[in-house]
Structure 1
Amino acid sequence: MRLTADNQYRWQDTLLEAVRIGGVLAGLVLLSACSMSGTSQASHTVSVDAARVGQKMLPLEVSATGNAIAYSSFEIRPEIDGQVAGIHFREGQDVKKGYTPPRGVHRPECWRALEVERE
């Protein structure tokens, strides 16, 4: 069937009328549902919890378990081959750049290699 201008307007009018009738029926159903008189008033109440507001100090420290991950890490390796005879600083002590232990501590060949490297 080929739609002409007259047929197209007839279909649009019929569809529009069906939508209007559906809207009226939906409105009637909603109005009848709202005006039911058999329901009790207690079923429409809403329970509300209340709490007293107060001001208090909160702890700045919180005890918790977890894992600590370092931001960065590094490895300390000797620049020359040799054997470490002792550690001549305390753990946590600040050591300035270029710090060398006393001369009598390491073997002489280690000191010679260090002097050659500095030149």
Structure 2
Amino acid sequence: MSPEKNSASFTDQGIPTHQELVIPALQAVASLGGSAESGEIVDYVIEHYPNSESLLEITYPKRPSVAVLPERVAWARSMAKLIGALEQPTRGHVSDYETGRRSTSITRRKGIRESPRPGSRLLPSTTTKEAQ
């Protein structure tokens, strides 16, 4: 890659912004059955995104072994979680909102409640008034 092109912004070089990759990330989760591992989403988007082979050649100047596109897809997945389009029931695994809601309702029917702390494990239901 020429030095002039490498000094241009990633967007000027054709890399989509993470905001532009939110929809492809959501489409990936939907195509993968409503839930997927983080790496599967990145792989799916890269496989189906136009001109991704040449976009994968664009790397960070200070980290020439790291392609920008996969990291932008990961940021898009994070953005989708922030806006509520995806849920992350476990580390490294995301599901679309509806799939997440169905699994939560199944979990509640089986007598398990969610802990009030974000990111903590599910706890067995209790019958005390405090838990109700």
Normalising by structure 1, we get a TM-score of: 0.24
Instruction: Name whichever structure is richer in strand by fraction.
Output: 2
Between structure 1 and structure 2, the one with the greater Rg is 1
User: What TM-score comes out, normalization by structure 2 length?
Assistant: 0.22
Whose helix fraction is larger, Structure 1's or Structure 2's? 2
